[in-house]
Chains A and B, each alone.
Chain A
Amino acid sequence: MLASGKYLDRTRKHGPMKLVGDVQGVPAPDFTLPSLDGRRVKLSDFRGKAVLLNFWATWCPPCKVEMPWFEDLQKQYADDGLVVLGVAMDDSEPATIAKFASDLGVNYQVLLGTDKVSDDYGDVQYLPTTFYIARDGTIVDKMTGLLDRKEIENAVKKTLNTTYKPASSPLNQADASVKEAVAAKATSAKDANR
């Protein structure tokens, strides 16, 4: 289990080592992905909601432990503004993914992930990985590996309670990528250390 933090990661397509991690306070990259029921789902359409964005796969046994918890949390906190989105990083057929989710009692929206979305979110390799996104589209937390339910619920509460940032905030730029923002942070940290 990894807590979020700064670490070196080699992005799959871009070759050189990049500093990623520490994505708290960074705008969540927007995306449009197909859902299992054939719709196109855009992340920024959920602006105003707190989003639990969970990357998972059918070949990932720890992922299926969390998914019923996410379903319960979605029901419990829906009225407070929580939306759960699952992103399946899977080569299986959509029908197989749908059956897998259904067998776990999942009713929240499951989207079919792409390499681009994985790259945009810092090359999501370690599953499960979950991003907690505040109502203004800012990443509140990133958690990787299976956590216990209490930690997940605490992260949900923290995300729901994260203060909405004013529109003039530089962090409120929905289409800035995590990598760009993190790179800018890394540069300023480097300068500060000189």
Chain B
Amino acid sequence: MRRVGVLSGTLLLLAGLVLAQGFGDKPPVEMAPVGNVQVKAGGSKNVSLDFRIGSEFHINSHTPKSPLLIPTVLKLNGPEQVTVADLKYPAGQDVSFPFSPDEKLSVYSGDFTVDAVVKTAANVPPGTYPVSGTLRFQACDHSACYPPRSIPVQFQVTVVK
């Protein structure tokens, strides 16, 4: 029983530290691992990039309602043999927050997915090609906001004959 009390106290202390330091080193948005994307040379393949937002946060959608708000933007750079195009962002949820009950913001919260299309030229040799980039977002919680931040986005494309 005493150990439970000590453990609870420790957890409360840790929770307090995490709350007090904001999201610290852990970003409020994380990317789910992407399985190997296999595509035929000269072909194309849809790829879904899944992201999870920490439960206490929301981020602006790709199309916030004010030009002053910072949109969520995915930027990807592949090698010259692989093109990533046709990014499709989900629509934002229109939500009012306690800090501004009369105003609706277009945000993502929970999980969201950005779809893209991977394309290769017919003359691309078989092999594995890394694609990397960043997801830039700006997060807030129920009472305050953090500066814009970027997290790395990476996956691999395997080109087959």
Contact = CB atoms under 8 A, between A and B. Distances in A.
Interface of A: 1-2, 5, 7-10, 21, 57-65, 89, 92, 96, 100, 125-128, 144-146
Interface in B80-114: 97, 99-100, 103, 105
A47 B98 CA distance: 36
B160 interface: no
**SS class, residues of chain B in contact with chain A:** loop
Given A62-B145, A127-B145, A144-B144, A21 B68 contact: no
B20 interface: yes
Given A10-B24, A61-B99, A125-B22, A146 B69 contact: no
A65 B68 CA distance: 15
A65 B145 CA distance: 13
A60 B20 contact: no
15 contacts: A2-B144, A5-B20, A8-B20, A8-B24, A10-B25, A21-B20, A59-B68, A59-B70, A61-B100, A62-B144, A64-B100, A65-B99, A65-B100, A126-B144, A127-B145
Given A1-B142, A61-B69, 10 more contacts: A2-B19, A7-B20, A8-B21, A10-B24, A59-B138, A60-B144, A100-B68, A127-B144, A146-B99, A146-B144
A2 B145 CA distance: 12
Interface of B: 17, 19-22, 24-25, 68-70, 97, 99-100, 103, 105, 138, 140, 142-148
Q: Considering the complex of A and B, which 8 residue pairs feature the smallest CB-CB distances, nearest first?
A: A7-B20, A145-B143, A145-B144, A62-B99, A60-B145, A146-B143, A1-B143, A58-B68
A113 B17 CA distance: 27
Contacts of A7: 17, 20-21
A62 B138 CA distance: 13
A166 to B, nearest CB: 34
Contacts of B143: 1, 62, 145-146
A100 B147 CA distance: 18
Contacts of B21: 7-10
A125 B147 contact: yes
A61 B26 CA distance: 23
A89 B70 CA distance: 14
Contacts of B138: 59
Contacts of A1: 142-144
B144 A57 contact: no
A64 to B, nearest CB: 8
Contact of B22 (A5, A63, A126): A126
Nearest to B143: A145
Contacts of A61: 69, 97, 99-100, 103, 105, 140, 145
B52 to A, nearest CB: 21
Nearest to B20: A7
Contacts of A146: 99, 143-144
